[in-house]
Amino acid sequence: MSAMRFEDPAADFVPTVERVFGVKPRVLDGSRAVLVGDLKLTLEAGERELWLVRVLPPALEDWVTMVEVRDDIEDAVREAKELADRG
């Protein structure tokens, strides 16, 4: 019997965000979403989509854009940071 291997991009999500953004994020929603300043990064669609969401006072969210998570969560987080820095 061969062993099954499971990959969970969310397991590396929080440390990857911390490494790429250079700050410790606030963890939301059981480590599938984090807050960095006023930017929320959230994994959706079975960890295949990384959404950038601007959090606006008092309790509004502006879903800005989505980055596709392909093979490596770090690539998606880096792309998300580039998009956030541009805009």
Q: Of 63, 36, 37, which is closest to residue 50 (Cα–Cα)?
A: 63
Query: What pLDDT shows up at residue 59?
Result: 83
Query: What pLDDT shows up at residue 27?
Result: 92
- Rounded CA-CA distance 20/79 in Å is 10
Q: Where are the domains of the chain?
A: 20-86
- Strand ranges (E), 1-87: 26-28, 33-36, 39-44, 49-56, 60-68
pTM as predicted: 0.81
Q: Of 23, 41, 21, which is closest to residue 31 (Cα–Cα)?
A: 41
The amino acid at residue 81 is K
Query: What pLDDT shows up at residue 62?
Result: 87
Give the pair of three-digit tokens for residue 1.
């019997």
Query: What pLDDT shows up at residue 1?
Result: 58
Q: What is the pLDDT along the chain (87 residues), one digit of tens a residue?
A: 566 655 555 678 899 999 999 999 999 877 789 999 999 999 987 778 999 999 988 888 888 899 999 888 999 999 999 999 887
Q: Phi, psi (5° rounding) for residue 23? A: -140, 155
